[in-house]
Structure formats: structure tokens, C-alpha cells
Amino acid sequence: MIAVDLRGHGLSVHRDSYRYRDYEDDLLALLEGLGLERARVAGHSLGGYVALRAAARSDRIAAVLAADVKSDWREEDAELARRAEGGSQRVESSRDALLDRLGRGLLPAVLDRDELEVLAERSVEPAEEGWRFRWDRRVLATEPVDAFAFLGRVRCPVRIVAGAESPVMPPEAARLFAAAIPGATLELLDGVSHHVELEAPDLLAERIRALAAGP
């Protein structure tokens, strides 16, 4: 199993461009570099969107598990993208203050301090006069989401998992999204919001193991 930090995320380097095609190219180049003719890909949010775009373009993607993927583009999304252009991460004077911000940003998922420390290994770094998030804020300056332009071209098996309480992929949006992919299945998780991997980790791990096992 291979865990991927997309460009500008986690421990990956920051780049000048964060277009969806860039992420696709990175994923497919990774598979090429590893000599993998076919791969089963699981992704949450942006990761799921990128996996599906790659699957619409290349038969290297053998199957996709996409968790709580955004499928629309609203004015508030456009405003967030405009604010993120040329943006940089705010520096906190203490690491504890930054971890508190990290925890608040994941609500309604509630993590204890040890769990936050695990996330912090890949998401915070020291900066001049304090600490900051490691991810590049410019990743939010994205192009509009247009999922329905490519979903009909996805030919591999796809399973969509979404939180029934998610503001990112509400149930009706999830149903329309899954219906646009030939043969896709949808699973809605009661009482779960956007961060499926944090709110229902055991269930999602089970779905990932099933994805990896085939057929």
C-alpha cells in the first residue's frame, strides 16, 4: 500500500501550479515510476476527485474508492480561491496554539491530543518566530470544480462513501454524483460529516482493505 501526499500537501514540495491536471499528472507519473500497470486508488475529498479524473483519462486506474468528494462550485468557493491566491500560512507563537487551530478545523470530528500529534507529523513545521501549517495555502486557489464533465468517462469500478451530515457532499449531491458514474455504488454514513477518515476510521479502513483485495 502506498500513501501519497499530493503536491503542496503533507511532506510534498510546494509548486507554482495546483491545477487538477497537475495532480492527475503527478498520480499517473508516480504509477509509471513505480512500474505499476494497474492500481486501485482510494482518496478523500480532493484525493478522490483526482483519482476519478485520472480514472477518466487512464486505464492504469483499476478501481476507485472516493470518500466525500466535492461536486459543485459555489460563490463562497470562488471567494475562498480568490483569497488564497498568493497567500501564506499564518504563524502561531506556540505549537500548542497551532494544534488547537488544527483541531478546530476538523470539527465536528473530535481528536485527542495523541491523535492530533499524529496529524501534526505531516502538517505543521517550525517557522521564524513560531509554528505554521506545512501545506501550501495556495492549494485553495483552485479552479472551479466540474465533476459532471468527466464522470461519465470513468469505466473502472467505483465506490462512493459520503457522510450523511457532510456539507461538502450532502446526500442528494452524493446520489447525483454516483449516478453519473457508470456502475458506481454509493454508501452514506449516518452521523458522519466530511472527515470520514476521522469520524468513521474503522469502516473506511475496512472499505480500503476490500478495495485492495479486488477483485
pLDDT tens digits for 161-213?
999 999 999 999 999 999 999 999 999 999 999 999 999 999 999 999 999 99
C-alpha cell of 53?
479524473
Residue 18 CA, distance from chain mean position = 14
Taking alpha carbons only, the member of 61, 57, 65, 39 closest to residue 149 is 57
Residue 85 identity (one-letter amino acid): E
- Residue 64 is classified by DSSP as E
The alpha carbon torsion through 162, 166, 168, 174 (nearest 10 deg) reads 40
Q: What ranges do the domains of the chain cover?
A: 20-76+144-213, 90-134
Q: How far apart are CA 52 and CA 33, in angstroms?
A: 20
Sign of CA dihedral 102, 1, 55, 197: negative
Span 15-34, mean pLDDT? Answer: 96
Q: Is 63 helix (H, G, I), strand (E, B) or coil?
A: strand
| pLDDT attached to residue 214 | 87
**Residue 86 pLDDT greater than 90, yes or no:** no
Higher-pLDDT residue of 210 and 85 is 210
Per-residue model confidence (pLDDT) at position 28: 98
Spell out where the chain has E strands: 39-44, 61-67, 124-127, 130-133, 158-163, 185-189
* Residue 215 confidence class, pLDDT cut points 50, 70, 90: confident
Angle at 185 between CA 167 and CA 68, to 5 degrees: 25
Q: Would you give the end-to-end CA distance of the chain in angstroms?
A: 16
Q: How far is CA 190 from CA 1, 62, 196, 201, in A?
A: 28, 28, 11, 14
pLDDT of residue 128: 92
104-135 confidence digits (pLDDT tens): 999 999 999 999 999 999 999 999 999 999 99
How far apart are alpha carbons 183 and 156 in whole angstroms?
Answer: 9
What integer best gives the mean pLDDT of the chain?
96
For domain 20-76+144-213, give the fold: Rossmann fold (3.40.50)
pLDDT given at position 97: 96
The whole-model pTM stands at 0.94
